[in-house]
Amino acid sequence: MEYGHQVDTGKVLPTETLDLPELEEWARSYAKHGPYSQPVNIRYYIGIYQLGQGLSWEGTDSEYESYASSAIHLLGAAGMLDISIAEISAPHILEDMKQVDTWTKDKVFKNIQKNMCMGMMHVHYGHSTMGNMQRKSRYDPGRLQHHIFQTVAGLFSLIPKEKRAWAVLEATKIMTGAL
pLDDT for the residue 132: 56
Task: Classify residue 33 as exposed, middle or buried by CB count within 10 Å of its CB (0-12, 13-18, 19+).
Answer: middle
pLDDT tens track for 29-56: 999 888 888 999 999 999 999 999 999 9
Residue 8's pLDDT is what? 47
Partner residues linked to 11 by β-bridges: 6
**Side chain identity at 21, as an amino acid letter?**
P
For residues 167 and 59, give the distance between their C-alpha atoms in angstroms, rounded to a whole number: 14
pLDDT at position 1 is 42
DSSP state of 14: P
Stated pTM of the model? 0.89
Nearest Cα to 18, choosing from 113, 89, 111?
Answer: 89
CA distance 115 to 67: 15
Could you report the per-residue pLDDT of 109-162, keeping only the tens digit for each?
999 999 999 999 888 887 776 655 555 667 788 999 999 999 999 999 999 999
Q: What distance lies between CA 95 and its chain's CA centroid? A: 15
The predicted pLDDT at position 137 comes to 64
How many residues make up the chain in this entry?
179
Contact 148, 78 (CB under 8 A): yes
